[in-house]
Amino acid sequence: MKISVSKNKLQYAVSRAERMTGKNLSLPILSTILLLASDDVLKVRSTNLDIGIEFEVPVKMKKEGIIAVPGNLLNNLLSYINEDDIVLEEEKGNLSVKTRKNNSLIKGFPYEDFPTLPVVSAEKTSPFPVQTLLNGLKSVWYSASTSDIKPEISSVFISLNPEYSTFVATDSFRLSEKKIQSQGNKEDLSILVPLRNVAEIIRVFEDKNGDVMIRSDKNQISFHYDGVYLTSRLIDGVFPDYKQIIPKTSTTDAVVLKQDLVNALKVSHLFADKFNQVVLTIDPSAKQFTIASKNADIGEHSVSLDAALSGEPVTLRFNQRYLADCLQSVASDSVSLQCNGEARPVVVRNVGDRSFTALVMPLNT
Amino acid sequence: MPEQEHNISDTKQLWDAALADIERAVSRANFTTWFKNTSIVKEADGVVYLGVPNGFVKEWLQNKYHKFILKSLRMISENIRGIDYIVISKTEQQKPGFAESAPQLYGELPLKDLYINKDDNLNPRYTFDTFVVGPFNELAYTATQAIMKSVGSVYNPLFVYGGTGLGKTHLLQATGNKIKEMYGDKKVFYITSEKFYLDLITSVQANKINVFKEKYRKYDVFIMDDIQFLSGKQGTQDELFHLFNTLYDNNKQIIFSSDKHYNFIGNLEERLKSRFGAGMIVDISDPDFESRVAILKTKSRHINFSPSDEIIEYIASNIKGSIRELEGLLNALVCQAQLKNRDLALLEVKTLLKNNEKPRKTLSVEDIVHVVSEFYNIEKSTIYEKTRKKEIVKPRQIIMYILREDLSISFPTIGQRLGGRDHTTVIHSCDKIKNDLKKDTVLVDELERIRSLFAQQQ
């Protein structure tokens, strides 16, 4: 193999691929990145057997070839090089990386052991707007469970139908749902994408526009975008029937400015105890909406906000982070909170539409 | 070619032997990465179906190690001709004995673990672990166990019938779940006749009848619940008939349930009845006292509730019939106990039981005359007249029978209220209907429908 390639384009691909190499696995080849040069294209491939990716980087080719090199070494090396032209050349199973000033040799691995990426068997592919996908994932993914005990909730549930694209995540203490009107999806699809892979999908497609081609079967999903092929394992399970727990009525309603609430939560976080506990008091008859927190070692704080209130008075205790997390997905300037008394979840929505819904369970008193 | 099924231990031995061979030839790291968590799901017609943990492993085994695995397997068993790879989810094995985080600080969203699998409509909650076997359902239970051992070849079709709330659905779903668990690759499908009917209608409307036909023919185990609702639905019966033939000819297992024997389902085509009759017909009757006690104990253990033996026996001796009713009462007890925050005394249970009793029927003689005469399309007044026309006599006798059987009115009173007839006439009428019911299925059906009309009136 002998190619010359733009450093920025190579680094773009390698830095993203490096994240998907297998860490602490018994099989060393998985910690490598496979470089495959043919037809004026360099394929940069990596996988940890849970998610896999292949980038195509345009290169000037002198000789075809394949080589596997340690991902983090190559990535680190590239981040220190600040010249634009790089020449990659295979020398007896090792990779020489040359620029005008730098000259390095990286020990290669036997590339025959590098696994192929699974191909999704479904014959149907469908285009899907990348930004809708990212918007949906980013609106909910923080709610997913980070523990591996229940794989079906340590993932984001994606359901596509001709009317809506719905994204849902929950860790059973809070839940977020984002509904986006479809612009002519043709497919019907319900899948569970593992949380860890959601993070990578977001990272890879963040700077993209247009449509990504999605193909999925029961166990595997793949995303195909100009020069990028990403494939992820899916969770074979059933997402809890969450719709039935979204309260249909409420006993206390409040509408506050989102930024006010975000700031109030940030301040009260300074004084919160180790459980991040904040106390929300709503008293419509006294026109009161206060957030208070207290820590025996630090001190205490309370702040009241201007709010439009109705219903019964209520006092609820929350994990500050759970409330603050979901506010980042509220699109409107004001946010609506609907409570149903203690021990029932509070519903957080945009004012005026139902495209985003978050449920947060209060702390037990 | 006959299907050559190996039992679980056979295939395990085969795979273990092959693995031993493979382990010698590949590096330790490769072996643990690619061959850990693999197993033979089944072997049929010389093809070994290999279960792998994910798509990546499947891809790699297929591309890199296929020939090698095949060679290793063939060295042990010569008649293996191919390998197919199937991804098996490991969620089952992945549930470690994690202690629930001790003091629960956060309230949890009430997400229920009640999942219905969309692929097969089965609810995993129904298992044999919670199924109580007693003399009342022993036969049905044994039949399902036999089916599990050799799916599709014995007791095909199985027809289970019995009154409402006796555990038919539980038995059917548990069978489906168990078969899924035992065989992995067998496609099980559960559907109620109602859903089947609705699906047919939508398919016809959308001009997709072919899709409908294809959809149901791919299953290895087809379970249809509550087929009594097919009564009178000619088109659906036709579809079921064809589906039945296709599945049956391909040795697929078929299981039906109904709330009555198929002979007593009105408006059911003869050819369907004869198909049902070809297999095994079992009934589930009301549970006896001992079974009711056992059921109550199992259920209460399941919901972490421990009433005293005295209470359980009291409930068991006072509520007869439906298991669902027992379950409902038990839930009411739990609710009360939680509310009062202590165990309930027998006396409280007794009052609760009284409140939970069904309201007595308040039907008057006139109501019954009205409904029956309307059902047979005759003038109400003719019932009271002294005519002996055949079309009048039969409804009149049915009225007498119902008054006697359902409302327990004395023979003389019945006679008096129906136009001053002698009590011997009434006795004769009731006996006649009783005898007719034993042989005349049309009459059984009519009586059933009349009674359901009463139920609607209340």
pLDDT one-digit tens code per residue, B284-332: 888 888 888 888 888 888 777 777 888 888 888 877 767 888 888 888 8
Asked whether residue B23 is assigned to any structural domain, the reply reads yes
pLDDT one-digit tens code per residue, A208-228: 998 999 988 888 999 999 889
Give alpha helix (H) positions in B206-303: 209-217, 234-249, 270-277, 289-302
What is the domain-level CATH number for residue B441?
1.10.1750.10
Residues B380 and B348 in one domain: no
Among A49, A115, A173, beta carbon nearest to B108: A173
Residues A239 and A251 in one domain: no
What is the structure's pLDDT at B108?
Answer: 62
Residues in B closer than 8 angstroms to A246, CB to CB, are: none
Nearest CA in chain B to A151: B91
Q: Chain A closest CA to B124's CA: distance in Å? A: 11
DSSP-based three-state secondary structure for A287: coil
pTM: 0.57
pLDDT one-digit tens code per residue, A301-341: 999 999 999 999 999 988 899 999 999 999 889 999 999 98
From B252, B284, B316, the end of a domain falls on B284
From B356, B373, B405, the end of a domain falls on B356
Among A28, A238, A361, beta carbon nearest to B29: A28
From A184, A212, A243, the end of a domain falls on A243
| Helix pair B323-340, B346-356: axis angle to 10 deg | 130
DSSP-based three-state secondary structure for B105: coil
Residues A74 and A141 in one domain: no
Is A202's Cβ below 8 Å from some Cβ in B? no
Total domains in chain B come to: 4
Cis geometry, peptide bond prior to residue A345 (ω within 30 degrees of 0): no
Residues in B closer than 8 angstroms to A26, CB to CB, are: 28-29, 32-33
Residues A239 and A250 in one domain: no
Structure-token match 């980038």, residue found? A55
Is A235's Cβ below 8 Å from some Cβ in B? yes
Is A117's Cβ below 8 Å from some Cβ in B? yes
Q: What is the DSSP string of B119-171?
A: TT---TT--GGGPPP-TTTHHHHHHHHHHHHSTTTSS-SEEEEE-TTSSHHHH
Residues A237 and A262 in one domain: no
CA separation for the pair B62, B197 (Å, rounded): 42
Residues in A closer than 8 angstroms to B122, CB to CB, are: none
Q: How confident is the model at residue A256 (pLDDT cuts 50, 70, 90)?
A: very high
* Sign of the dihedral defined by the CA atoms of residues B345, B348, B352, B354, in that order: positive
Residues in B closer than 8 angstroms to A118, CB to CB, are: 55-56, 58-59
What is the domain-level CATH number for residue B319?
1.10.8.60
Sequence-separated contacts (24+) of B332-339 with Cβ below 8 Å:
B332/B356, B333/B305, B333/B307, B334/B303, B334/B305, B337/B305
Asked whether residue A65 is assigned to any structural domain, the reply reads yes
Residues A239 and A171 in one domain: yes
Residues B83 and B229 in one domain: no
pLDDT one-digit tens code per residue, A283-294: 999 999 999 999
A contact residues 72-111, partner B, Cβ 8 Å cutoff = none
What is the structure's pLDDT at B9?
Answer: 65
Residues in A closer than 8 angstroms to B37, CB to CB, are: none
Structural domain for A132, as ranges: 126-243
Residues B132 and B272 in one domain: yes
Say whether A364 and B91 touch across the interface (CB within 8 A). Answer: no
> What is the average pLDDT score of chain A?
90
User: What are A97's strand-pairing partners?
Assistant: A88, A104
Closest CA relative to residue A318, chosen from A297, A346, A296, A356: A346
What is the domain-level CATH number for residue A228?
3.10.150.10
Q: How confident is the model at residue B456 (pLDDT cuts 50, 70, 90)?
A: low
Asked whether the beta carbons of A282 and A309 are under 8 A apart, the reply is yes
User: At B342, phi and psi to the nearest 5?
Assistant: -160, 170
Residues A135 and A230 in one domain: yes
CA separation for the pair B104, B221 (Å, rounded): 42
Average pLDDT over residues B28-51: 84
Residues B161 and B272 in one domain: yes
Asked whether residue A119 is assigned to any structural domain, the reply reads no
User: What are A339's strand-pairing partners?
Assistant: A252
From A243, A262, A278, the end of a domain falls on A243
Asked whether residue B177 is assigned to any structural domain, the reply reads yes
Position A297, amino acid? D
Is A343's Cβ below 8 Å from some Cβ in B? yes
Asked whether residue B387 is assigned to any structural domain, the reply reads yes
Cα A233 to Cα A47, A87, A216, B131, distances in angstroms: 11, 35, 10, 36
Asked whether residue B70 is assigned to any structural domain, the reply reads yes
What is the domain-level CATH number for residue B199?
3.40.50.300
From A243, A275, A304, the end of a domain falls on A243
Residues B44 and B75 in one domain: yes
- The size of the A-B interface in CB pairs under 8 A is 108
CA separation for the pair B448, B267 (Å, rounded): 13
Rg of the Cα atoms in chain B:
29
Asked whether residue A365 is assigned to any structural domain, the reply reads no
Residues in A closer than 8 angstroms to B59, CB to CB, are: 115-119
User: At B415, phi and psi to the nearest 5?
Assistant: -60, -45
CA separation for the pair B105, A164 (Å, rounded): 36
Residues A324 and A290 in one domain: yes
User: At A283, phi and psi to the nearest 5?
Assistant: -130, 95
Nearest CA in chain B to A319: B106
pLDDT one-digit tens code per residue, B340-386: 777 777 777 777 777 665 544 567 788 888 888 888 888 888 888 88
**pLDDT score of A13 more than 90:** yes
Q: How confident is the model at residue A198 (pLDDT cuts 50, 70, 90)?
A: very high
Is A359's Cβ below 8 Å from some Cβ in B? yes
CA separation for the pair B43, B3 (Å, rounded): 9
pLDDT one-digit tens code per residue, B75-104: 888 888 888 888 886 544 333 333 333 233
Closest CA relative to residue B231, chosen from B197, B281, B202: B197
Residues A226 and A133 in one domain: yes
DSSP-based three-state secondary structure for B203: helix
Residues B272 and B309 in one domain: no
Residues in A closer than 8 angstroms to B29, CB to CB, are: 26-28
Residues B279 and B303 in one domain: no
Cα A160 to Cα A130, A182, A184, B18, distances in angstroms: 14, 8, 11, 43
Tally: H helices and E strands in chain A: 6, 26
Asked whether the beta carbons of B126 and B169 are under 8 A apart, the reply is yes
Say whether B33 and A25 touch across the interface (CB within 8 A). Answer: yes
Residues in B closer than 8 angstroms to A362, CB to CB, are: 107
Asked whether residue B152 is assigned to any structural domain, the reply reads yes
Residues B183 and B252 in one domain: yes
Asked whether residue A121 is assigned to any structural domain, the reply reads no
A contact residues 135-164, partner B, Cβ 8 Å cutoff = 148-149, 151-152
Asked whether residue A182 is assigned to any structural domain, the reply reads yes
Residues B144 and B236 in one domain: yes
Asked whether residue A264 is assigned to any structural domain, the reply reads yes
CA separation for the pair B80, B378 (Å, rounded): 73
From B284, B312, B335, the end of a domain falls on B284
What is the domain-level CATH number for residue B48?
3.30.300.180
User: At A101, phi and psi to the nearest 5?
Assistant: -105, -35
Residues in B closer than 8 angstroms to A273, CB to CB, are: none
* Sign of the dihedral defined by the CA atoms of residues B186, B191, B193, B195, in that order: negative
Residues A142 and A101 in one domain: no
Say whether B98 and A245 touch across the interface (CB within 8 A). Answer: no
Structure-token match 């087929």, residue found? B227
**What are the residues whose beta carbons fall under 8 Å from the beta carbon of B287, sequence distance 6 or more?**
B134, B136, B137, B166, B295, B323
Among A120, A149, A240, beta carbon nearest to B112: A240
Residues B241 and B163 in one domain: yes
Q: How confident is the model at residue B230 (pLDDT cuts 50, 70, 90)?
A: confident
Asked whether residue B3 is assigned to any structural domain, the reply reads no
A contact residues 20-49, partner B, Cβ 8 Å cutoff = 25-28, 30, 47, 49
Say whether A25 and B60 touch across the interface (CB within 8 A). Answer: no
Residues A255 and A208 in one domain: no
Residues B217 and B133 in one domain: yes
Both structure tokens of B417: 């209220």
pLDDT one-digit tens code per residue, A95-113: 999 999 889 999 999 988 8
Residues A234 and A255 in one domain: no
Percent of chain A clearing pLDDT 70 (strictly above)? 98
Asked whether the beta carbons of A71 and A109 are under 8 A apart, the reply is no
Least confident of A253-262, B114-123, B206-215: B114-123
Burial pattern B203-231, b for ≥16 Cβ within 10 A else e, equals: beeeeeeeebeeebeebbbbbbbbbbbbe
Closest CA relative to residue A206, chosen from A138, A105, A300: A138
CA separation for the pair B391, A298 (Å, rounded): 93
CA separation for the pair B349, B318 (Å, rounded): 11
Asked whether residue B116 is assigned to any structural domain, the reply reads no
Asked whether the beta carbons of B196 and B238 are under 8 A apart, the reply is no
Among B98, B112, B114, beta carbon nearest to A149: B98
Asked whether the beta carbons of B320 and B163 are under 8 A apart, the reply is no
Q: What is the DSSP string of A307-344?
A: EEEEE--EEEEEEHHHHHHHHTT--SSEEEEEE-STTS
Closest CA relative to residue A84, chosen from A15, A1, A11: A11
Total domains in chain A come to: 3
Structural domain for B333, as ranges: 289-356
Residues B141 and B279 in one domain: yes
Position B442, amino acid? V
Say whether A361 and B108 touch across the interface (CB within 8 A). Answer: yes
Asked whether residue A164 is assigned to any structural domain, the reply reads yes
Among B56, B109, B114, beta carbon nearest to A173: B109
Taking phi over 0 as left and psi of -120 to 50 as alpha, with beta for the rest, A322 belongs to alpha
Highest mean pLDDT out of A46-50, A179-183, B75-79:
A46-50
Asked whether residue A184 is assigned to any structural domain, the reply reads yes
Asked whether residue B307 is assigned to any structural domain, the reply reads yes
